[in-house]
Every structure is written in C-alpha cells, then in structure tokens.
Amino acid sequence: MKVAVIGTGYVGLTTAVSLAMHGHEILGIDLVAAKIAQLRQGKSPIYEPGLEEALAQMLEQGNLQFSTEIKDAREAEMMFICVGTPEASDGSADLSYLLAAVSDIASMQQPSTGKRVIVIKSTVPVGTGDRIAEQLRGNDGLYVASNPEFLREGSAMQDALKPSRIVIGADHEAAFAAMEQLYNGVNAAKVTTTRANAEFIKYASNAFLATKISFMNELARLSTVLGTDITTVAQGMGLDSRIGPEFLRAGVGYGGSCFPKDTIALLQLAGQHGISLSILDKVRDVNTTQPAWFLERLEEQLHGVAGKKIAVLGLVFKPDTDDIREAPSLKVLEALQKKGASIAAYDPVASAIVGAQFPNVDYVKHPAAAFRGAHAAMLITEWKECVQLDWKEIKASMAAPILFDGRNAWPGNLLKDVGFVYTGVGRS
C-alpha cells in the first residue's frame, strides 16, 4: 500500500522503516529539512539498535523515500500521523503539531483510489480522533483511525516488527479494511474497537506500567529500612503469573518522553471530567521524589557531598537510546551541583546533549575514567559498559570505595566481597 508517515522521530521513523520492510511503499515526511536530508543519505538522526541498517536497506530497495513536502504524498492511501504530543504548560497533551498535520492533510486532494485513511499513531487524549473525524465530516472518502503505538525506545525496531498487539480504533468498515490490509503480514493479536477505546488503551497501559514501577520504588524505601532485598522480593512476586515479572525493577525512577507526560495528561483529562485519579497522582509523586530519596542515602553515607567528587554512570533515560527527555540523571546532576559536589559523568551517546545543559560536569570517554578519584559512584543508566567493569581496578582508582546503584544492576554481593560499600535501591 502507499503510505505517508508524517513526523520522522522515534515513532515515525521506526514505523516508516518497519512498514517498508513489510513491502509497503512509504514516504516519510518531516518539517525539519536537515533531518530529511540526513535520512535520504541513510543516516538515522536518532540512536536505535538496528534502525540505521534497516533504513539503508529499505532506501536501497526503493520502497522508502523522504520529503519535507506533504504534497508529495498525494497518492498515499494512508497517512500516519506520528508527530509529538508534548506536555503543555497545564499538563495536558499539546495537540498543535497534530492539528497542523491534520489540516495539511484535509487540504490535499484525495488519491486516485478516492479513499484515504488518516491514522493517528501519536498518543492523544481520549476523544481526539472523534473530534477530528467530526471536523472532517463532509470530506468524502476521508476516514480517521486510531492506531496507538506501544514500542519502547532501545528496542523500537524489534517492537515495531513484532508488536505485543495491534490496536485499531475506527468507525467505518473502509478504515478497518485498510488497516487490516496494511497489517496483514504482521503476526500479533489485534483489538478492533472505537477510536476512544483505542486512545484510552494507550494511556491506561502507560499509566499501569508507571504504577508498577512507582509501587516497587515505594516498597524499595520500606525495604531499605527493613534490611530486605527488593530485587529478590520482585523475583518472588513475578513468578505469580497474575503479577508477571516485568516492570518490577526498583530504581531512581522512570523517565523518557512517555510515562511522565502521559500520566499527567491522563490526570488532566480526568480532572476535566471531575474525576480524581488518586493512585496515578501518587505514582507521579513517588517518581518525582525518587531521585532525591536516593541522593539522601548518598549524603547520609558521605556526610554531605560538598567538595566531594561523584561519578555518575549513564545519562539517558534507559540504555540503548540517545533520548534524555525526563531522564532522572538530569535531576541527579542538578541536585549534586547545587549541593557543591564535583561530577565526572559517562554516557556513550548523550554527553554532548547533556553538556549543553550542564557545562560544569566533566564528561569522560570511558566508564572507568569517571571513577578515578571519586568519593562515590552512582549508576543511573544500566548501559552494558557501565555494568561490566573490572571492579578491582575500579576500586583501586577511587578515593573511597562507595557505590550507589540506582538501577540495582551492579553485582552487589560480589562488590561487597571485593571490599566496596554497596547500596542499591531497596537493597543494601
């Protein structure tokens, strides 16, 4: 099928490449000319494992092209909208990019097939698709479908090619039929429903995942005073299939472009309808205070951090991405600097971008270099190279062998045997 993908960010680019891999004819469109120029050269503007290779392959095969001009998509039967829906100042989802894209599409002529489906892949408040469909009523042959995206950064290609499920919301047989044809080759459970249900599934899923994390993070605070090990507790809980093993990892909190903004957008939406989502409110509270709670443990241990050198390992919000949106590291760097610590930080991909916000941090090129002369080291992102280290060498290079593992990813018991003072999140 001929498909246009509007917005070539994390979701749009992954969607464009994976649909091309399924044999569709894809045109990726973005407002940012530099991004399009780079994409045409087969270079990915974002870091995602496997994405750049697949992009180059699809360009070579000829079923993936890029443009800054929406008019180049005049023959597209489907228009996927993958633009950002960031947090507005009141916490709601800012729909300005989405509405601009819809109005661009509405002003285009229909393709020669006489039918076109606008597919909203961006995460949007419940009711958005219906409102857009209402506005477009009268444009014959133009349909609106909701098709939320569930990919995770760091495994975006894998998730797009083998999705956990495909959720399709629409109100017309023509839209369902087009979506069915598009995803024909994809082996995944499909949920076909109303647009509003589809939109709600997306927010509810992210809210629930965020809840699991904050629940474990709050229990980790209790675990610290009880002297128990939250990772063992999580392991024991996860064996119950009703609970499941995923998203029970306590840490310094969730970040990223989705959980923080989607949880507040859902709270905002509920508030507009006079409903208080008190559990979700607490989920956000726990997450906001989690980095500070962990830093307090560090300060207790070091009797203050002023004048001390702290190594910070990992800056992005999770491994295998270059995304620093809402990364807990930013809160950690800010608090440490405010309290007068000097910081050496390592991240394989994000030093330059974090450096623009925190110029007074010493960004080192190898993880081991961050530890040199440090009075304590903190793991914030569990990159493989920040976890697999020569610990004897590291210990010898530090001013004090104090480790704060913000992701419970360092081998605590082994480290204690080597002579480190080890503190994890909810495990000592």
Ligand X SMILES: NC(=O)c1ccc[n+]([C@@H]2O[C@H](COP(=O)([O-])OP(=O)(O)OC[C@H]3O[C@@H](n4cnc5c(N)ncnc54)[C@H](O)[C@@H]3O)[C@@H](O)[C@H]2O)c1
Binding-site positions for substrate read: 150-153, 202, 247-251, 255, 318
| Binding characters for ligand X, 78-117, by CB under 6 A (x = yes) | ----xxxx-----------x--xx----------------
**End-to-end CA distance of the chain, in Å?**
55
CA distance 265 to 271: 10
Give residue 353's identity as a one-letter amino acid code: I
- The structure tokens listed for 332 are 């950690």
Displacement of CA 170 from its chain's centroid (Å): 26
**Range in contact with ligand X (rule: CB under 6 A) among 149-157, 246-254, 278-286, 310-318:** 149-157
Q: Is 258 in the site for ligand UPG (CB under 6 A)?
A: yes
CA distance 401 to 75: 63
Q: Is 209 in the site for ligand UPG (CB under 6 A)?
A: yes
Biggest CA–CA distance in the chain, Å, is 73
Nearer to ligand UPG, 401 or 426 (CB): 426
Is 386 known to be catalytic? Answer: no
Q: Which of ligand UPG, ligand X, none binds 122 (CB below 5-8 Å, type-dependent)?
A: ligand X
For 199, other C-beta atoms within 10 Å of its C-beta total: 25
**Range in contact with ligand UPG (rule: CB under 6 A) among 24-32, 73-81, 107-115, 205-213:** 205-213
Q: Which of ligand UPG, ligand X, none binds 383 (CB below 5-8 Å, type-dependent)?
A: none
Displacement of CA 23 from its chain's centroid (Å): 27
Give residue 174's identity as a one-letter amino acid code: A
Q: Which of ligand UPG, ligand X, none binds 348 (CB below 5-8 Å, type-dependent)?
A: none
Q: Is 10 in the site for ligand X (CB under 6 A)?
A: yes
- Quote the least distance from Cβ 379 to ligand X, whole Å: 23
**Range in contact with ligand X (rule: CB under 6 A) among 27-35, 107-115, 127-135, 247-255:** 27-35
- Quote the least distance from Cβ 109 to ligand UPG, whole Å: 33
Considering the candidates 5, 161, 210, 258, report the single residue annotated as catalytic: 258
| Binding characters for ligand UPG, 117-146, by CB under 6 A (x = yes) | ------x-----------------------
- Quote the least distance from Cβ 221 to ligand UPG, whole Å: 14
Q: Residue for token digits 């063992």?
A: 232
Strand partners, 380: none
Nearer to ligand X, 9 or 426 (CB): 9
Q: Which residues bind ligand X (CB under 6 A)?
A: 6-12, 29-32, 35, 82-85, 97, 100-101, 122-123, 149, 151, 153, 257-258
Q: Which residues bind ligand UPG (CB under 6 A)?
A: 123, 149-153, 206, 209, 213, 247-249, 251, 254-256, 258-259, 262, 317-318
